[in-house]
Structure 1
Amino acid sequence: MNIFRPAAVLSTAMLLSTAAQAAEFREFDTAAFASAQAAGEPVLVDVRAWWCPVCASQRHTINKIVAAPAYDKLVVFELNYDRQKSELRRFSVSRQGTLIAFKGATETGRIIFQTDPGKIQTLLKSAVQ
């Protein structure tokens, strides 16, 4: 008797991953960012590097927090620390692991190289409230 059903396992995993994340994640794009701000959307700019353990820890915490329905309108723009240097200058960012929250065009806060879940949650709340 074969009880392993790959298709069922895959579809269940896809449903769970979709339901577990209310926020939308996108690669940083200047036009999309400007559009989100003009629409008054809550936005998080996540300055990341693939090799950064702090960035990985932040992402883990962000994923947990944004699973809540309160974050269903949040857009998380991932800004690549290694490749998007002009955007780093635009946001006055000097290191990876920087998180910047916006409510529309207004910056509501930023944290740098911080992994404390409470501080990350406070930052995210500042964008959605």
Structure 2
Amino acid sequence: MKYVITSIISLFMAFSASAFEKQPFNETLFAELQNKGAVIMIDVYAPWCPTCKKQQKLFQQYHEQNPEKKFHVLVVDYDNDKQWVKKFRAPRQSTLLLYKGDKQFWYSVAETRFNVIEEKLNSAFKF
């Protein structure tokens, strides 16, 4: 039994360590990341949105294929953060905005092609 529990804990820790992390949008954090010149993806997300869920998998895939390229995903809750939905001019959930520092690189609605998201993220790192 002890072996089973240890195995389960190890498996959970390995999954957690490799899992892609994102943070709720916070104006102060956004400003700090912009000042540092970080690559930031604003993700206007809704938990009930299948397109949003697909985008999350694509962010994870990019992260796994490019672990050396650190980028931040700041999640704007489409249902509860209406102030930020309006500020980012998101017509609906699944809107993505990509920044490098204070420069906006890309704006998209409902993009789910990995090659497009990959190309946009890569271009932000080259800037």
- Is contact 1:74-1:128 (8 Å) kept? no
SS at match of 1:40: coil
The runs of 5 or more residues in structure 2 that have no matched partner are none
Q: CA deviation at 1:91?
A: 1.1
Q: Percent identity?
A: 29
Q: 1:108 corresponds to which residue?
A: 105
Cα-Cα RMSD: 1.8
Distance in 1 of aligned mates of 2:83 and 2:27: 11
Q: Could you tell me which amino acid in structure 1 is paired with residue 68 of structure 2? A: A
Q: Which runs of 5+ in 1 are unaligned?
A: none
Residues of 2 paired with 1:29 and 1:20: CA distance?
21
Aligned to 1:117: 114
Runs of 4 or more, structure 1, over 3 Å off, are none
Return the alpha-carbon distance in structure 2 between the equivalents of residues 61 and 19 of structure 1: 14
Structure 2 length-normalised TM: 0.88
Q: How many corresponding residue pairs?
A: 125
Deviation at 1:39, TM superposition (A): 1.1
For structure 1, which segment, 11-20 or 54-63, has the greater mean C-alpha deviation from structure 2 after superposition?
11-20
Matched, 1:18 2:40: no
